[in-house]
Amino acid sequence: MSKDKIKIIEKESVVVKFVGDCGDGMQLTGTLFSDTSAMSGNDLSTFPDYPAEIRAPHNTVAGVSGFQVHIGGKVSTIGDKYDVLVAMNPASLKANLRGVKMGGTIIVDVDAFIDRALEKAGYTSNPLEDDSLSSYNVLKVPISTHARTSAMELGAEVKEADRTKNMYALGIVSFIFDRDLEIISEQITEKFAKNPRIAEVNIGVLNAGYIYAESIEAIESRYHISTATLSKGKYRNIAGNIATAWGILAAAERSERPLFLGSYPITPATDILIELARHKSLGAYVMQCEDEIAGICSTIGAAYAGSLAVTSTSGPGLSLKSEAIGLAVMTELPIVIINVQRGGPSTGLPTKSEQADLLQAIYGRNGSCPCIVLAATSPSDCFDSAYTAAKLAMEHMTPVILMSDGYIGQGTELFKIPKVADLPKITPPIAKAKDENFKPYRRDEKTFVRQWAHPGTEGLEHRVGGLEKTDIYGAVSTDGDNHDKMVKYRDAKVQKVADFIPEQEVIGDKEGDLLVVSWGGTQGQTQVAVKELQKQGKKVSLAHFKYIMPLPKNTVDVFSKFKKIIVCELNDGQFADYLRIRHPNFTYINYNKIKGIPFTTEELISTFNQILEEE
């Protein structure tokens, strides 16, 4: 069909999901599509979703890998339902069909729908033939055959040719959404820079898929997606883990401290380690350690030596680091512990997202061992949160635990790159050489913060370690009165941070019938749900928490002005339990989801309406 005869449909936003077997290249396909959309001026949010196995069983539901992309003029979530689903085999169709909007488009690789694959996916009949997909616009495309033919015409061997079917599918989707093939081709060329022939073949297959979509009668319309209205500046599509690494780099530059990261690779946090290792030219010292304990102990050593010291991990690793975190609290050294959460306990769900570790971050150490705890709210906010975590750690001389999660750590969105000079100043309390009044545990009267004395500085010799220290002088002490005083000082220092963080904001009216409370990476979904109810005239507001320990100073004032409070989180109610401890005078309704996937706005709206209707 010629372009002139195809109907152009204007859409504010669309959700596209690419799904297939592990090894079908869905993560690369989704990344290319989302990056191209960002370069085309769309706002976006993405959600990579893949199994934990390196090579999951072929053609099984358990082995499905997916990449969801929500693009539009203004995007806050990954989207509830898909406008377009690209399914490369029966298992991926079966696993994702319920997420497709009624009347939505499903593009399938008809070549993959053979008897054996259908049986392994759990089908008793072929869904492409039994009328079970009649509610959808189904495009049955021989993607594998066409991709192989196109690739072999360009000189590829059979195995190489079979790996290009994802590019053929991307070509079809690029036509439907009017994506610029030159932008995609440039990305492919960069991706395969060390093997130009492979790049050439993939670009050729991409173009073949585009031409196929342009020529068939089944595609009757194309979509024009609203572009984002953005303030002037330089933007890029960024993953939360990359933004976290950049925030740490910016904090090191702004504080004029050398940067050290000591970490052990762990899903889904490893990209932070990889990204920082790329920036030796910016003064980043990165050590891949043999285990989690070595990672944090090397970090403590770097902090003692005067570096901005960071370690990254996920839930199981945070457990292993707990004793060393206690050492950092006792020595009152500034370190940042980044925890990109995943489903637990134990090894749990390595590639699935969950707000699993909040209580561990707050309480998971022996003795009275307070740390500052804050939680990033989106992929782009990971930059600001990492910068803030480093600033608080160094200025208040205490460990900070930064909570992220797999959803925002690996998901992406548009990010406006700031100028480092415009970021808030970081002023660590560094002790000066030959200070006759220096004492290792003498504290600022207002903040209870001790000075940061770097080893080798003349006149600042002192001892540190895990044993309790005497107030002011820092000698080892087992005196009960001194211990009581030091425990209270360390706690007061963390609580005093409330004077240096913003008060809790409320989205909506300051009083009403229902206050939705959420924290961390659930902000997009809860915000969209609350704003939709506000449009309907409902007296609903949102308090989304970034600062967990300590809580903002006005928390009680915010809570006191609402008839009901519901706490939404992707765990079994950990933040609600924490609020019951800190502020027991309020009644908290729990809404929890522990399925390894984010909330949908649809389920949140339904729940909020139900609570509003209850007496």
Q: What is the pLDDT of residues 580-598, one digit of tens each?
A: 999 999 999 999 999 999 9
pLDDT in tens, 282-308: 999 999 999 999 999 999 999 999 999
Domains and CATH numbers, the chain: 3-225 (3.40.920.10), 236-422 (3.40.50.970), 512-613 (3.40.50.920)
Mean pLDDT calculated for residue range 145-162: 96
Please tell me what DSSP assigns to residue 76: -
Please say if the pLDDT value at position 164 is more than 70: yes
| Helix, strand or coil, per DSSP, at residue 195 | coil
Average pLDDT over residues 78-107: 96
> CB 119: neighbour CB atoms within 10 A?
12
CA atoms within 13 A on the CB side of 444: 17
Measured CA to CA, the distance from residue 194 to residue 332 in angstroms comes to 47
Spatial CA neighbour of 596 closest among 369, 403, 354, 402: 354
Rounded-to-integer distance, Cα 23 and Cα 43, Å = 28
- Mean pLDDT for 568-575 is 98
Q: Note the pLDDT of residue 469.
A: 95
**pLDDT above 90 for 238:** yes
Cα–Cα distance between 438 and 455 in angstroms, integer? 14
Q: Please check the confidence at residue 54 and state whether its pLDDT lies above 80.
A: no
In angstroms, rounded to a whole number, what is the distance separating the alpha carbons of residues 399 and 327? 10
Contact 447, 496 (CB under 8 A): yes
- % pLDDT > 70, the chain: 99
Confidence of residue 7 (pLDDT cuts 50, 70, 90): confident
| pLDDT at residue 106 is higher than 90 | yes
Which pLDDT band, with edges at 50, 70 and 90, does 339 fall under?
Answer: very high
E-state strands within 462-561? 512-519, 540-545, 547-549
* pLDDT tens profile 419-457: 999 999 999 999 999 999 999 999 999 999 999 999 999
pLDDT bracket for residue 4 (50, 70, 90): low
* CA 44 – CA 383 distance, rounded (Å): 17
Residue 98's pLDDT band (cuts 50, 70, 90):
very high
The rounded distance, in Å, linking the Cα atoms of 595 and 605 is 18
* 397-431 burial: b if 16+ Cβ within 10 Å, else e: bbbbbbbbbbbbbbbbbbbeebeeeebeebebbeb
pLDDT at 209: 97
Mean pLDDT of the chain: 96
Residue 386 to residue 241: CA distance in whole angstroms: 10
Q: Is the model's pLDDT at 1 over the cut of 60?
A: no
pLDDT tens string 356-380: 999 999 999 999 999 999 999 999 9
- Residue 268, preceding peptide bond in cis (omega within 30° of 0): yes
Residue 53 confidence (pLDDT): 83
Confidence band of 3 (pLDDT split at 50, 70, 90): low
Stretch 78-97: mean pLDDT: 97
Q: How confident is the model at residue 613 (pLDDT cuts 50, 70, 90)?
A: very high
- Please report the pLDDT score of residue 437 as a whole number: 93
- CA of 97: how far to CAs of 24, 47, 91, in Å? 18, 17, 10
- Residue 2's pLDDT is 52
pTM for the model: 0.95
Instruction: Show Cβ contacts of residue 212 under 8 Å, excluding neighbours closer than 6 positions.
Output: 141, 146, 168, 171, 172
